[in-house]
Homo-oligomer: A and B are copies of this chain.
Amino acid sequence: VNLILLEPGEIGDGGVVRLRDARARHVSSVLNVARGQQVRVGVVDGPRGLGDVESAAGDDVVLRCVFEAAAPPRPAVDLLLALPRPKVLQRLWAQIAALGVGRIVLTNAEKVERHYFDTHILSPDGYRPLLLEGLQQARDTRVPDVSIHRRFRPLIEDELDDLIGDATRIVAEPAGARAIADVVASRPPARMLLAVGPEGGWNRFELEMLGAHGFTSISMGPRTLRSDTACIALLALAHDAMRSLQ
């Protein structure tokens, strides 16, 4: 954890925050800071800042926080992800949030098994702590928006424009010819949406539907990757391509 995230309601007068949970133990035992030292803090969906440690004793820590004027920008990359197996998704939440996404759109696809939807990690109580874990790792405060879509076609045909707007749409697939950096360089986007298919890939109908709705196919090389590996790899490539525009 490289930043302690605070809920807005936890911050009292003068920026004083009292922690009595796992964050307190992290400050006392892992960061190992004491009165007079500082820790990085952030408000969920708000600004980052610094907290002066006023007291730190086991699971009772008091910080006096000063925050920056503005929240960090929302990451400029969004993700359209065919719902992975629960065990895989469980591991992915924090990694996706750490790499940085503005929005996570989880969708059905032919090769997504129905029972994947019957899992507590699809409830905000299940995934939000994992997203916050990833943000604290990456020193971000912006919690990705999450939406879950049990029907692929209405999502792509009717709902995606409202969710994603005019982000440049990218789908990684074995037949893709271009590199993501070329797509970005040829028409620098304000935002990107990356589509990552299920284990076994999108079927032909799904790929045609993505193509008909503005998705450009890109390649990540000849090696077939597991969908969680592909997801991390593609997010890394997209952020790298966006940074290269700056």
Contacts and interface: CB of A to CB of B under 8 A. Distances in A.
Interface of A: 2, 91, 94-95, 98-100, 137-140, 179-181, 220-226, 229, 232-237, 239-240, 243-244
Given A137-B226, A138-B224, A224-B2, A240 B181 contact: yes
A63 to B, nearest CB: 20
B240 A221 contact: yes
B232 A236 contact: yes
Contacts of A99: 223, 225, 229, 233
A81 B235 CA distance: 21
Given A98-B226, A137-B226, A221 B243 contact: yes
Contacts of A137: 224-226
Given A233-B233, A236-B233, A236-B236, A223 B179 contact: no
Nearest to A233: B236
Copies of this chain present? 2
A237 B99 CA distance: 14
A210 B224 CA distance: 33
Nearest to A231: B232
Given A233-B99, A233-B232, A239 B224 contact: no
A140 B223 contact: yes
A140 B224 CA distance: 9
A98 B236 contact: no
A156 to B, nearest CB: 26
A243 B100 contact: no
A98 B229 contact: yes
Contacts of A223: 98-100, 138-140
Given A229-B99, A236-B236, A179 B244 contact: yes
Contact of A226 (B95, B229, B239): B95
Contact of A229 (B95, B180, B181, B222): B95
